[in-house]
A and B are shown apart, each in its own frame.
Chain A
Amino acid sequence: MPGLTMAQALNAALRDAMTDDESVVIFGEDVGTLGGVFRITDGLARDFGEDRCFDTPLAESGIVGFALGMAMNGFKPVVEMQFDAFAYPAFEQLVSHVAKMRNRTRGAINVPMVVRVPYAGGIGGVEHHSDSSEAYYAQTPGLKLVTPATVEDAYSLLREAIDDPDPVVFMEPKKLYWSKAEVSLPARTEPFGRAAIRRSGTDASLVAYGPTVPVALEAASVAEDEGWDLEVVDLRSIVPFDDDTVAASVRKTGRCVVVSEAAGFAGVSAEIAARVQERCFHSLAAPVLRVTGWDIPYPPPIIEKHHLPGVDRVLDTVARLQWDDEPDHRFLEAVRA
């Protein structure tokens, strides 16, 4: 099948940004000669030289801190964290410095940098290779947080992240790296802060982002056979958040299920559910429900399918949206017990 993979679109975005702007530099672990473990930086060191795309020592805090210093002095670094769980050593740099530098200097120093984080599971990774770590960043004022679900968005959101005057945590759903689409680049989609309606429907809204968008779409497709016309909202950008599009969708459908691969407890899915009920209470025919990963450390590859939100679990949850004014037995029983 012809077309472009998400990995290729990301590579093209980096390539085009480097061509357009001399101040864009790319560095991280294995991003140079190897082209990254997922090949997102493939060929960039060769084509732009080792001054523009280079390997660093294996020290994530150092990488992010070094990038911040370069960003303070005229460069636009795009750094790769290699894997979600390998980004944790850089946490203090991101939270206390990258995110806060503008505020600490009352706007005098901005930090135009991008931290690319391949995240989430579904690729059979061993431990520490499949975390959904977005809530940590979403909780940090000063960071923008975006995650593409389509090939076109992968290109456009990454270009926008590099152009942004503020630091952006760019989370790449690993299992979608090899997803393909017919796109013509350079493509620019909607800017940060705009969610996209991926499928229009009238009965319930499935709100998803990153790796769960294709799951929601497939569930909506199957639901059609069962008589439900589901709308699918792809957030694209978690920070800034598009309250308007999400709320408009739920007001229209009257029902909402949030689908997220991360642990549900205190996760981004919880925030979405809270925002929806704050804004749409009088339009809701049922409580906002969530389909998330369990609140467990990410499981080993042989059983990860039991952790990941799948089509069946989404449909089972849609079925609990009080279609016949029946209360949701799962929680009703919990209350009685």
Chain B
Amino acid sequence: MTTRATGPAAARQVASAPAATGVDEVAGRLLPAGTPIQFLDDDGKPTAQARRGSYHEPTTELLVDAYRRMVIGRRFDAQATALTKQGRLAVYPSSHGQEACQVGGVLALRPTDWLFPTYRDSMALITRDIDPVEALTLLRGDWHCGYDPKAHRTAPQYTPLATQTPHAVGLAYAAKRRGEDTVAMVFVGDGGTSEGDFHEGLNFAAVYQAPVVFLIQNNRFAISVPLSKQTAAPALAYKGVGYGIRSEQVDGNDAMAVLAVLQHAIESARAGEGPFLVEAHTYRIEAHTNADDASRYRDADEVAAWERRDPIARLEAYLLSTGAMTDEDVGGARKQAEVFAGQVRDGLNPDPKVDPLELFDHVYAEPTPQLREQRGWLAEELEGDA
């Protein structure tokens, strides 16, 4: 077996490929399916093979787990939104409607892989088994991400758009350099694909053949700006092709298809076949956050149409139809979700304990003399207040 070249040597391989085999052939291998990959139709009925491409059906066990976690995820999402109204969370960006991406993205990863989430991906964090109270730390109004990113192999949530893209690429490249089989998955939204860092990250990933999977959750809106004002591309998936990245598009409200495509993408990256980009077509059912009013920029009819393509209902219908689940299992998942929501409420009920003096402690490994001095001044103020 030959050792696969890394770094600049790999770059030359990519650069020389078109001349050797013809641009059309190489580009053809990168192109996404013309129609998003779909395993279940809007009613949860299995699609014909043609819609599934060459992707393999996920195991029943994985699908049942995904279903359960989607039910919990949606309940968690509703609970978090409710907590903003009670002042327990400063803000919450909902991912209601995007459960197949949130859960499918995480379940396709190994625990040893890395996830780079955005602010809208709290549901993905709890699917990664991060404690929900820890996961909501930032949105609660605290100053740090709340969980240990290294322990969970999950980067802090990113608020600036697409800036996490080159980080995921660098981290994955570092793992590859050490001969580890770690894959990094980076979540980005449709709006994020317009940012420079998205493009620079894609380019670096391709040049260095880094084991990264880019999951674009195209939920059709960047706050109020619709996809039509974001891009003129026929699909966001095509943005990978120009960089030499194998790209695919998938029905993002079909958990089975999301899992099938992402499992393939991740294992392809893990096997040393370079980065992979997946666009998942989905929809943000709620407003941007609890502070937003979506009625100012979109019609209720449009939302209703997407609600009829609900990812949980589709997978539920399918798993009931095959006998993989029973009505009792559905009830069990819902009960579990209620218990989980109760834990979230209880966990967020007390006021968070925040020590203002700690704000000086993690700016550097060792505080500068100036920070030590200022910490002392604030301590005096606090003593004066007490």
Contact = CB atoms under 8 A, between A and B. Distances in A.
Interface of A: 32, 50-51, 54-57, 59, 61-62, 64-75, 77, 89, 92-93, 96-97, 101-110, 141-142, 144, 165-166, 193, 239-241, 243-244
Contact of B200 (A50, A65, A104): A65
B167 A65 contact: yes
5 contacts: A69-B166, A92-B197, A106-B145, A240-B369, A244-B369
Given A69-B170, A75-B174, A62 B149 contact: no
Given A102-B364, A106-B144, A57 B207 contact: yes
Given A105-B145, A240-B370, A65 B207 contact: no
Contacts of A66: 166-167, 169-170, 173, 201, 204
B132 to A, nearest CB: 18
A67 B144 CA distance: 22
A98 to B, nearest CB: 10
B296 interface: no
A70 B168 CA distance: 9
Interface string B297-330: 0000000000000000000000000000000000
Given A68-B167, A68-B170, A103-B363, A61 B370 contact: no
A244 B197 CA distance: 41
B7 A69 contact: no
A57 B174 CA distance: 17
B171 A65 contact: no
* Residue from A57, A102, A104, A193 with most neighbouring chain B CB atoms (10 Å): A104
B8 A61 contact: no
B190 to A, nearest CB: 20
B9 A70 contact: no
A70 B170 contact: yes
Contact of B170 (A54, A72, A101, A244): A72
Given A104-B156, A241-B368, A62 B163 contact: no
B166 A243 contact: no
Interface string B128-151: 000000000000000111001110
Contacts of B169: 65-66, 69
B163 A97 contact: yes
A69 B144 contact: no
From B9, B156, B168, residue with most partner A Cβ within 10 Å:
B156
Contacts of A193: 368-369
A74 B168 CA distance: 14
B272 to A, nearest CB: 16
A142 B362 CA distance: 9
B165 interface: yes
B380 interface: no
A75 B163 CA distance: 20
A68 B145 contact: no
A69 B164 CA distance: 9
A74 to B, nearest CB: 6
Nearest to A32: B8
Contact of B370 (A56, A69, A243): A243
Contacts of A108: 148-150
B365 A57 contact: no
Given A105-B156, A142-B364, A69 B172 contact: yes
Given A56-B207, A93-B166, A103-B362, 4 more contacts: A55-B8, A70-B173, A73-B171, A105-B156
A74 B178 contact: yes
Nearest to A242: B369
A76 B156 CA distance: 20
Contact of B166 (A32, A61, A244): A61
Q: Which 5 pairs between the two chains have the least Cβ-Cβ distance?
A: A69-B170, A65-B166, A62-B200, A73-B174, A240-B368
B319 to A, nearest CB: 38
Nearest to A141: B363
A51 B6 contact: yes
Given A105-B156, A106-B362, A166-B365, A65 B163 contact: yes
B361 interface: yes
Nearest to B206: A57
A96 B160 contact: yes
Given A51-B7, A59-B200, A105-B156, A166 B364 contact: yes
B203 interface: yes
Interface in B232-291: none
B156 A69 contact: no
Contacts of B363: 102-103, 141-142
A144 B197 CA distance: 24
Contact of B167 (A72, A141, A166): A72
Interface string B364-380: 11001110000000000
Nearest to B12: A50
B196 interface: yes
A48 to B, nearest CB: 12
Contacts of A75: 174, 177
A105 B143 CA distance: 9
A239 B114 CA distance: 33
A59 B365 contact: no
Given A89-B196, A102-B362, A67 B149 contact: no
A144 B371 CA distance: 13
Interface in B1-46: 6-9
Contact of B369 (A62, A77, A165, A243): A243
B175 interface: yes
A71 B175 CA distance: 11
Contacts of A56: 204, 207
A241 B369 CA distance: 8
Interface string B97-137: 00000000000000000000000000000000000000000
Interface string B345-372: 0000000000000000111110011100
Nearest to B175: A73
Contact of B361 (A67, A105, A107, A110): A107
A56 B369 CA distance: 37
B37 to A, nearest CB: 29
Contacts of B148: 105, 108
A165 B367 CA distance: 12
B145 to A, nearest CB: 6
Contacts of A102: 362-365
B175 to A, nearest CB: 6
Contact of A97 (B167, B172, B203): B167
